[in-house]
Chain A
Amino acid sequence: MPTTTERLSERFDPKMLAALEGLDFKARYVMEGFLSGLHDSPFHGFSVEFSDYRNYQPGDDLRHLDWRLYARSDRLCIKRYMQETNARFYVVCDTSASMEYRGKAAWGSKLECAKVLAAALTWFLLRQNDAAGMVSLNGPNGAPEFIRPSQRSNQLGLMLRQLDLLRPAGGACLGQLLEQAVRLVHRRSVILFFSDLLEPSEDVALGFKQLRFHGHEVIVFQVLDRDELEFPFGDAKVFEDLETGLRRAVNPPLVRQNYLARFGAFMEAYRQLFRSLEMPHCVMRTDDNPWQALAMFLAQRKRLK
């Protein structure tokens, strides 16, 4: 029996997504298309509605006192609302040059896919009255860009504008990005981490551990291209590293097996790292629809609530 996301994937049209101008439209296309396919809407239960009671404490705002309950049971109780329990979300996006890669089958480069997904999640979170912020590195020099989390109505535009400005540049920067995230995110938050993670896991393990040590929940979206996962090249070609500019003549049919083995080991190392740190890890393919990642996110969000 097909799962929900499998049915949804039939309605996803990468051409339509690519034809849309602007990140906000793409985010709405992805998110609303995803939500309309779900039977149990996530909007149920997520509102400013009443949640439960707690006993009144001196200093509490009397506006939240439930006077009717006091009249019925002579107890002083304070109403608790869902809004109070919403979390802070940070979008942390890798902008290294390797994110520029776009295979023939992909509907966008890895960075474009990450931006669309991040925008869709931001739109969704702000609709749920969650606070959303952003940490990124700007340009090859790696200057940190930070957007404070907020629930305000203009936050979506701010986030989308910042996402739009992201350009792939520079070499390996995951360590620096994680370091900046640790430095800038103080309160316990949920960090949505978008990257291709094409760096040795041992180089970035410390950064992820520090985030966990500070009490942050980290959801990792690893964006990969089909070419990286399957290495389907046929002709002998010269390969040029997007980050370092180095070139190497490669005969793909001969090296494919070895490549896949090494890539599999690389992915396994990351899986183990995230398993040990209890971080949800979602691999998102640029030639696939992003709803699988969104479904995973919703499942994780329920767990976080």
Chain B
Amino acid sequence: MPFSFFNPWFWLAAVAAAAPVWLHLRHKRQTNVVRFSTLRFLDDQPAPLQSPLRLRNLILLALRVLALLLVVGAFCWPYSPGVDTAPIRESRVYVLDNTLSHQANDGFGQDRERVLNGIARAGSDVQVAVVELAAAPRVIVSFSDDRQTAQRKVRGLRPSFQRGSYLAAFRQANALLANSFGQEKRIVFLGDNQANQWNENVHTPPFLGDVQVELPKPAAGRLPNLSLSDARAQRLFQGDKSLVNLTIKLTHAGEARTADFILRANGQVISNRKVDLDGQPESILLQAQWEAEPASWLRGEAVVEGQPDALAGDNRVFFSLAPVTEGKVALLAQSPYLRLALSPEIMRGRWAARVLEPSRLEAEVAAGQDADVLCLESNYLQSSEARKLLWRYLGNGRGVILLLNRVTPTIRGYLRELGFEADEAIDASERGEERFQFVFSNHPIFHPFLSPDFGNLMEVKVYKFIRLRSAQALPLVFSETGAGLFFQGTKSQGKLFVAAFGLDREHTSWPVHQTFIPFVDLALQAARAEDPTPTSFEPGEVSFIQLPAGAVAREVVLRDEGRELARSSVEQGRARLRLPDQPGLYTLTYDDRPQIQQILSVNPSPKESELTYVESPEALRAWRVDSVPSAARTALPAPRARIPVSGILQQRWWWWMVLAGLAALMLETVLAEMRKERA
């Protein structure tokens, strides 16, 4: 805890130090004055040749003088010129970039040495502080630190995998300079001048006033790099096989022609192949599928290696996948294909379907036993009970898959309430058939279909469909004629997917296409209420972990292979956790229970892999405040160095001298007491 007048220990110590001083003064008064009965026989005595207060003890005299000098010197110290108190000519803040991208070509290590040299060479009239640019900017060295301490702290910095904000670091440095003594204020930025960092804050309002910014390091232009990012793993089922589908983005910049790609899952090498990069776009989506046990957690990592590669820290990506938990589907549809797809023979262990009786919908509404997903055809929406049931599912955060096999005015009005405008039914068979033309492949439902193993969605034909329009829903599939065929609603709390056609042979060929079963499974998974706990983070990120409904825990514990890294208490179903600085897979458990609740993957931000740099950042010009024209600024007199009270209180010598003065007074008191006892 630093010295401060507001520190209660200071007041306690002051009282403790003052007590012997007070006793000493009281004692001194009692011993030196004799209250005599009369002075009438002494009034004509000669004046004493010696002082009546003559000190017989030279040690006491020396201690008193020393205490007095120290206390006076302490009060004068902040105003006297010297090593630590001379007017400060320059206040300098080094912003040391410790993001992942700065590891390229050992940029961080070189700049750390630059900071150390700068600290060593700075004169006594220069005060130095260092801000580390990481996930959150940190003041590593403050102005009050001495040079040895500053060098030790900087030398102790290690390269990180985090991504930080240039803007936040500059704001931190500017705040430090605002409370500094220097006539000149300077920020020395030692970073890699990554283009995306400068560009993302180019529209920030100006805040750098009267501060010089120095970018001593020339921008490198662009560096070659190989990186992996955006690992997405999903579980798929093909017949009895439980598969894991993984897509990873491989980004390459530079002259690398090939790269070695290694994929491991649960300790086994899944893939080890050479990727041809010649003539390929900068970003390649790598995909892999393999069989995996559905009831256990999947831990995996992928590594890419190749040359040239300036940044090795982004060549590895980690991912995890939760075990399958069987979901429940309430089915209100006549489609035999859908019923077959959801039958136990096909969906065993994944989905348990319960077919609702249309005549007993009232009892179903009253029972309130919702499944995870309701799958229904629109012709049942003629029934008010079915409409109530659908609203209840959406209101409770459950998923709904609505298949529009029929539209009536009643259904059309109800669809309007859901945010859809249903036009007339289109019979595409009259003019041929509609095929899937555009599929939102980045969506979780359709992402696995990028792999040809699951079949080609473009082969699916649609004979009849309802033309739907919606300003709020997200279309996921378009036909050749541009008609939206599959939508995701965004209006309700629960997830709503609307297909513009029924899943029977009258409407589409999809039920007999090989993509049908995987689609149903993926659509149900997407419609299902998600686990609120995110599983993918960046190094050093601070995140709130939302516990699933019904989970009971007092604390969440973050572990790395059994070793506890962090522990955080749960408040209102949430816990605040800071993720580790190192990429990897970390487990999350509740309290002291060993069961794994989540496996969190920590990977560097893909933005850190973009090793493109700018020489003269436009953002820096935008951040400057030109309140005083440069000509007028030169005409202004040099600002007089002022030492504020806070600056005085930061002077360590001041405190040490005050304490030494008090200690000398206490020692003098003890000696006086000992002398008194001897007398």
Task: Give the interface of A toward B (CB within 8 A).
Answer: 98-101, 110, 196, 198, 225, 227-228, 233, 236-244, 246-251, 254-255, 258-259, 262-263, 266
Contact = CB atoms under 8 A, between A and B. Distances in A.
A242 B52 contact: no
Given A255-B42, A262-B41, A249 B48 contact: yes
Contacts of B279: none
A240 B29 CA distance: 12
A263 B41 contact: yes
A228 B34 CA distance: 12
10 contacts: A198-B38, A236-B50, A238-B33, A241-B37, A241-B38, A241-B39, A251-B50, A251-B52, A255-B46, A263-B41
A228 B48 contact: no
B31 to A, nearest CB: 9
Contacts of B40: 198
A246 B33 contact: no
Secondary structure class of chain B's binding surface, majority of residues: loop
B32 A198 contact: no
Nearest to B47: A249
Contact of A240 (B34, B45, B47, B48): B34
A227 B41 CA distance: 13
B51 interface: yes
A249 B42 contact: no
A249 B48 CA distance: 7
Among B32, B40, B44, B46: residue with most chain A CB under 10 A: B40
Contacts of A250: 42, 45, 48, 52
A237 B33 contact: yes
Contacts of A241: 36-39
Contacts of B54: 236
B32 A238 contact: yes
B12 interface: no
A99 B37 CA distance: 7
A242 B42 contact: no
A225 B40 CA distance: 16
B558 to A, nearest CB: 74
A254 B37 CA distance: 19
Contact of B37 (A225, A237, A238): A225
User: Across chains A and B, which 4 residue pairs bring their CB atoms closest together, nearest first?
Assistant: A251-B48, A101-B37, A249-B52, A98-B37
Contacts of B52: 236-238, 249-251
Contact of A266 (B36, B39, B41, B50): B41
Interface of B: 32-54
B171 to A, nearest CB: 65
A258 B45 contact: yes
Contact of A259 (B35, B41, B48, B50): B41
Contact of A254 (B34, B39, B48): B48
Given A240-B34, A250-B52, 18 more contacts: A98-B38, A101-B35, A101-B36, A237-B33, A238-B52, A241-B37, A241-B39, A242-B35, A243-B38, A247-B33, A248-B39, A248-B45, A250-B48, A251-B49, A251-B52, A254-B46, A255-B42, A259-B41
Contacts of B34: 233, 237-240
Contacts of A262: 41, 44
Contacts of B51: 236, 249
B41 A240 contact: no
Among B36, B43, B54: residue with most chain A CB under 10 A: B36
A251 B54 CA distance: 11
Contacts of B33: 237-240, 247
Contacts of B35: 100-101, 240, 242
Contacts of A255: 42, 45-46
B48 A239 contact: no
Contact of A242 (B37, B47, B48): B37
B55 to A, nearest CB: 11
A241 B39 CA distance: 6
Contacts of B43: 248
